[in-house]
Amino acid sequence: MQLDLPLDVSTAWEAQEEATRVLGPYAYDYLGRMREFWTAYNRFVLKRAGIHDPSDRLARAINDCFLSIEPQVFHPFPETDDVLRELKDDGYPLHVISNATEEVLGRLQRLNLSPYFESITFSQEARAEKPDPAVFHLALRRAGCRPEEAVYVGNDYEADVIGARGVGMIPILIDRNDVVPDADCLRIRSLKELKPLLDEW
């Protein structure tokens, strides 16, 4: 769908930043109702940008547009499927902890990654984002294991390494572009390096 709107890029960015600041904290309250949340978000952006949309027709159309292009935006790294399959086949229980809304469930399904994981925990349901301990504790309860028995792999030092270490999990930083060469934790450049590292333990 193509929408011809009298809107310049800078105005759109400013409106979107304000919407994120004002409405973002309320996303926790929309568990099971994310389409409703995004309609409200788009309504806010359009109003701030001076675009009249009394019936939310445009707000809903923007939702549909994002859903249609999502498969073009989210792609796993090339080695992901092979590594996850090998880990699962070798008996490693796999779980997800994500700073995301419930929409992460659909994305993982569309990428055919969901079957690899025994549980998927996301920040919206925990009402807390990494590095907050709450989301890690929820995932650990679902996994049925103690923190010291769990290895956590993530690509953000503050959210993932500090968050996992804060609850007693063993953090591994995946640093594909060598951004944190002096990280004070285990570090890998590709998921291909993960299984050999785990097998050593």
Nearest of 129, 130, 77, 74 to residue 106 by alpha carbon: 74
The lowest-confidence range among 6-10, 63-67, 133-137, 178-182 is 6-10
CA torsion sign for 60, 65, 66, 67 is positive
Q: What is the pLDDT of residues 60-115, one digit of tens each?
A: 999 999 888 887 888 999 999 999 999 999 999 999 999 999 999 999 999 999 99
Q: What is the pLDDT of residues 131-149, one digit of tens each?
A: 999 999 999 999 999 999 9
Please give the full DSSP string across 62-116, using - where no structure is assigned. Answer: HHHHHHHHHHHH----TTHHHHHHHHHHTT---EEEESS-THHHHHHHHTT-GGG
∠156-160-161 over CA atoms, to 5°? Answer: 100
- Res. 174: pLDDT tops 80: yes
**Which of 68 and 18 is assigned the larger pLDDT?**
18
Per-residue pLDDT band for 155 (boundaries 50, 70, 90) equals very high
What is the pLDDT at residue 67?
Answer: 86
Q: Are 166 and 145 in contact (CB under 8 A)?
A: no
Q: What is the pLDDT of residues 32-45, one digit of tens each?
A: 999 999 999 999 99
Which CATH number does 80-200 carry? Answer: 3.40.50.1000
Mean pLDDT of the chain: 94
The model carries a pTM of 0.89
Domain ranges in the chain are 9-73, 80-200
The DSSP 8-state label assigned to residue 50 in this structure reads T
- The count of other CB atoms within 10 Å of the CB of residue 98 is 19
d(CA 75, CA 77): 7
For 73, counting Cβ atoms within 10 Å of its Cβ (0-12 exposed, 13-18 middle, 19+ buried), the class is exposed
Number of DSSP helices (H) and strands (E) in the chain, helices first: 9, 5
Q: State how far the alpha carbon of 34 is from the alpha carbons of 65, 101, 103, 155, 199, in Å.
A: 15, 8, 8, 26, 40
- Beta bridge mates, 173: 154, 187
Roughly how many angstroms between the first and final C-alpha of the chain, as a whole number?
Answer: 52
